[in-house]
Amino acid sequence: MSPPLRSALRALAISFVPETATATDAQWILLESRIEQALAARPAALRRQLALFLRLLDATARLRYRNRLSTLDAVRRTALLEWFAGSPVLRFRRGIWGLRTLILLGWYTQPSVIAALGYRASPAGWEARR
Amino acid sequence: MNVVRCDVAIVGSGAGGGTAALALAPLVSHGKRVLVLERGPRFQDGDFTGRELEMAGALYADEGGFLTRDGTMTLAFARGYGGSTLVYTGTSLLAPERVIRAWNVPGIDAEDLARRSRKYMEQNNVHLLEPERQNDNNRLFAEGAAGAGFHPEQFPLNLRGCRGSSLCNLGCPNNAKQGTDRVQLPAAERLGVEVVTRATVTRIEERRLRVVVSEKPPGAKGADPEWAPGEYAVEAGIVVLAGGVMGTTPLLLGSKLPGMPRRTGQGFTCHPAHILVGEHPEPITNDVGHPKSWFVDRAAEDGFVLETCMYFPFITAKNLTGFGAAHSALMRAFPRLQMILVLACDHATPENRITVDRRGAPVVHYRFTDAVIQAMVRATRASARIFFAAGAVRVHAPAAQPTLVEAHEVPQLEQRIHARHFRVGQVSISAAHLMGGCGMGTSAMDSVTDDRGRVHGHPWLRVADASLFPDSLEINPYLTIMALADRVAEGLMADLAG
């Protein structure tokens, strides 16, 4: 993952899942590797569309706020993402949905995160609760 | 290339293929060779860990994230010995009589399907879960639905030795679900049917299949394939296609068999679904116990069905609309969340269909009709009433803006939850009940197969899965798939005898 892409991804992650602002290095590494793995399994066209959409978000941030997406303050970045998420243009809504899905995948599949939520499903089922 | 000859080749081993395999097994004692070719692996008991990412990658195509062409809905379908019966919850419902009547397929009647379905209900140990083994998530649904004026019904389930892991959709770690992987396929193998896993059928020719058997990748789950990896030509007197909607129709279209009915791929439908959550003030048992014990059937009146459900952290997070602090707060409330799965009943339309791309990969064209969106909105309002009647303090509703609806807003539900807020592409919608593409009927003008699954103009080629449905079933489909596969096998046996 290139440094600019990593910066943009981390900025997005903090907007989508505020807890990631205090993520440990190990949690960031796991988040990024899971996203990379998920993307590697997807068609090249989908990866291109997501990369293009990230560039569009960055260009919009520069145009509207004279700042890059990765260095934009949290309030403005969230406002920008919410505008795209609710846009009348289906491709924009889909773009946000796709990026958000990747971040959620990278975060909410981590054992430490799941444990912190209190999710306790176990193959042992009811016996594990006794 | 290796050449293998058999009398019947069944492609797929799920509800359709597994049923056909056992129903056709008596042929083996008459000297016939019956093969089942399954694309996925034969999983082993220790493979089902219940870990979300690991199991989604092992069991589901595209890790469960297969997207329709416009990217507005994900389709979930599994691959492996047992097909999608590996990942269902075992809900076993008879096809509604009014739906079968509306299908209007000569030869298909509800009583016949019910009779066959009951045979499989007995074979797969279908029963109602005892009240003491139901968790709060299910109990609250039943109480809330009754309190809100609905008629909750209990799902008959095909379980044996359920320990309540709640992990059905990631493959049961305790072998409790009685899918075709536990019942029909092992019985068929005992009678001499051969099952070959990791065997992908790449092309159908006249009475011949092109098959690639793949090596088990390093570190992957499941057993090695039964045949040596490589390319095979399987010559079969009769071919039964039962690879599910996402297997059968794309294979037929990609094979470009001469004289295929022009309706192949048309009539695709599904039950578009999304997860709703209600937040309770105190923790409830939700991630332990069978996840799906109750439902409310409003298909006939309002075009939706509500079912209890319990999903895993990532799937839940993905299904909650929006992001940021409110989304995170709801996730942190996980031990207090009640969940309902909303399913809309969709009818086949000309624009919703399956095609294949240049590589033969499936492309699903699907557009949400106004009727489906309205049904999902009505379903969301009904679910909100059930949540609040059960004691929830707030409800997450994707068709509301803002999405969190508080208990004091119940009198305003009609306005708060409204189709104007329901934006495809923003709301996570997925479907697991995929139907159609090779619909039954009377001739190649109106359908792909006859009522016994014979492809019009190709008497050696049969279909035995949910592709046969000419329209939505409006309820969980696996028992009806088994009943239809049973009919297809019966017709095939009669043809061979005659």
CA distance B37 to chain A (A): 25
Strands B304-308 and B337-344: antiparallel
pTM for the predicted model, two decimal places: 0.96
Residue B157: the pLDDT is: 98
CA distance B469 to chain A (A): 30
Name the B residues in 333-352 with CB < 8 Å from any A CB: 334-335
The domain total for chain A is: 1
Residue B331: the pLDDT is: 97
Name the B residues in 135-194 with CB < 8 Å from any A CB: 162-167, 173-174
The answer, for B360 touching chain A at a CB cutoff of 8 Å, is no
Residue A38: the pLDDT is: 92
C-alpha B312: how far from chain center = 18
Helix (H) or strand (E) holding A119: none
CA distance B332 to chain A (A): 5
- Summary mean pLDDT of chain A: 93
DSSP assignment of B341-406, as one string?
EEEE-----TT-EEEE-TTS-EEEE----HHHHHHHHHHHHHHHHHHHHTT-SEEE-TTBSSSEEE
Q: Decide if B489 contacts B457 (C-beta within 8 A).
A: no
Closest residue in B to A112 (Cα) is B313
Place of tokens 């009915």: B261
Q: Which CATH class is domain B131-157+269-347+369-423?
A: alpha beta
**Measured distance CA(A50)–CA(A93) in Å, rounded:** 12
The hierarchical CATH code for the domain B2-63+75-125+169-266+436-497 is 3.50.50.60
The answer, for B323 touching chain A at a CB cutoff of 8 Å, is yes
Residue A95: the pLDDT is: 94
Closest residue in A to B176 (Cα) is A123
Residue A130: the pLDDT is: 79
pLDDT digit string (tens) for B266-318?
999 999 999 999 999 999 999 999 999 999 999 999 999 999 999 999 999 99
Residue B373: the pLDDT is: 97
Mutate to test the interface with A, among B159, B167, B169, B426 (most CBs of A within 10 A): B426
Q: What percent of chain B has pLDDT over 70?
A: 100
The answer, for B49 touching chain A at a CB cutoff of 8 Å, is yes
Residue A4: the pLDDT is: 79
Q: State which amino acid sits at residue A7.
A: S
Contact (CB<8Å) A108/B288 = no
Tokens of B73: 């809905």
Task: State residue B363 phi and psi, 5-degree precision.
Answer: -125, 120
Domain ranges within chain B, ordered by starting residue: 2-63+75-125+169-266+436-497, 131-157+269-347+369-423
**Reported confidence tier of residue B498, pLDDT bands at 50, 70, 90:** confident
Q: Decide if B250 contacts B357 (C-beta within 8 A).
A: no
pLDDT digit string (tens) for B339-385?
999 999 999 999 999 999 999 999 999 999 999 999 999 999 999 99
Mean pLDDT of the region A44-63? 91
Q: In the predicted model, is pLDDT for residue A43 greater than 90?
A: no
Closest residue in B to A111 (Cα) is B51
Contact (CB<8Å) A93/B425 = yes
**Out of B50, B313, B428, whose CB is closest to A108?**
B313
C-alpha B337: how far from chain center = 25
Closest residue in B to A40 (Cα) is B62
Task: State residue B400 phi and psi, 5-degree precision.
Answer: -125, 155
Q: Decide if B177 contacts B159 (C-beta within 8 A).
A: yes
Of all residues in chain A, what percent are helix, strand and coil, respectively (each to 5)?
80, 0, 20
Residue B327: the pLDDT is: 96
Residue B429: the pLDDT is: 96
C-alpha B324: how far from chain center = 32
**Out of A96, A104, A127, whose CB is closest to B317?**
A104
Q: Decide if B101 contacts B83 (C-beta within 8 A).
A: no
**Measured distance CA(A4)–CA(A15) in Å, rounded:** 17
Structural domain range at position A53: 3-129
Q: Decide if B22 contacts B188 (C-beta within 8 A).
A: yes
**Measured distance CA(B181)–CA(B82) in Å, rounded:** 4
**Reported confidence tier of residue A1, pLDDT bands at 50, 70, 90:** confident
CA distance A121 to chain B (A): 5
